[in-house]
Amino acid sequence: MRGVSRKSSLVIDLSSNHSEGPMPKLPSTINVLDLGQNMFSGPISSLCTNRIGRLSYLDLSHNLLSGELPDCWKEWNMLNILLLPNNNFSGKIPNSTGFLGWLQALHLSNNHLTGELPSSLKNCTKLTLIDLAKNNLSEKIPAWVGGSLSDLAVLNLRSNGFNGRIPSSLCQLKMLQILDLSRNNISGARPRYFNNFTAMTKKGPPVTVYDYSAITKPSSRGYESLGVYFDSKIPSGTQLQSFNASACMGNPQLCGHPLLKECSRDDKEQYPPSSDISGDIIHCDEDGPCFYANIALGFITGFWGVCGSLMLSNT
């Protein structure tokens, strides 16, 4: 148990104390609150009456909290980190979360949340991490996720009820390191520009994963999950080939390395890569100039391959 008052800010850490009962009454001057790894139960609607306007870090993870999420987030516009995973929250994600303009990390995984992602979240443009895995969220993955959240590095929507196609706007997320859409009802082919995820292909140590219990202190554990919905061949020439086969669990239609399952001829030719002199991967659009250049090159190679052999043959 720890309570620290420093320069008119208040830090309360009651994590991992086997504490139980309803949410305690909190002072309005609190800046950091960590009640994670306890047995607190019941709703958290009491937080709305405290008017904790200076709260920047809230960790209520790994408790027995239940009920709907409060709809008073606009009172907490200084909140940076929100950790509510591994509880029994239900209902929809409230629209007032869109008032969290400074929010960087949103963890709501392993609850019973329903409905769709509120469009107000697109106002949280500083978000770098969204983890909503293991809920009952549904509808389509909205296009604004890729269009508005340009700093997003982690997007985990695993084990929900999302349906429809993967929006091509996700390919605008240049900073994305982790994308897990596995165990949903997503259909259709993957967007053809998935290779735009350059942050995934950079060489170096495994991508950093934020520890739920100390999100301000990133751990160095690798996050091995190829949850991105590839309903065919795993793209070659990327860092995806460095994963273990176990990372592909829950995606029975995937084929190609690192899996032992071989791809059919159609899957192999779905996205054929070619290389330039520097070894970089080039993908030709059907209407692009390199597409027609490849046709011309193929014609020339075939023409001289036949005619050249005739010219050199004595018969």
> pLDDT per residue over 135-173, tens digit each?
999 999 999 999 999 999 999 999 999 999 999 898 889
Among 208, 229, 250, the domain-final residue is 229
What is the full DSSP assignment across the chain? -EEEEETTEEEEE-TTS--EESPPP--TTEEEEE--SSEEEE--THHHHHT-TT--EEE--SSEEEEEPPS-GGGGTT--EEE--SSEEEEEPPGGGGG-TT--EEE--SSEEEE---GGGGG-TT--EEE--SSEE-SBPPTHHHHH-TT--EEE--SS--EEPPPGGGGG-TT--EEE--SSEE-SPPPTTGGG-HHHH--SSPPPB--GGGTTS-B--------S--SSBPPSSSGGGGS-GGGGTT-TT-BSTTSSPPPPHHHHTTS--EE-TT--EE---TTSHHHHHHHHHHHHHHHHHHHHHHHH---
Q: Is residue 135 part of a domain?
A: yes
Tell me if 81 is assigned to some domain.
yes
304 shares a domain with 160: no
Checking if the pLDDT of 272 tops 80, the result is no
Do residue 180 and residue 63 come from a single domain?
yes
Residues 120 and 18 in one domain: yes
Q: Has residue 142 been placed in a domain?
A: yes
Which tokens belong to 30? 């609190």
78 and 164 belong to one structural domain: yes
Distance CA 34, CA 12 (A): 6
pLDDT tens-digit readout, 275-310:
343 344 444 444 445 555 555 666 566 555 555 555
pTM recorded for the entire structure:
0.68
Q: How confident is the model at residue 262 (pLDDT cuts 50, 70, 90)?
A: confident
Domain carrying residue 46: 2-229
Q: 135 and 8, same structural domain?
A: yes
Residues 136 and 13 occupy one common structural domain: yes
Both 197 and 310 in one domain: the answer is no
Chosen domain end from 229, 256, 271: 229
Number of domains the chain is built from: 2
Q: Is residue 244 part of a domain?
A: no
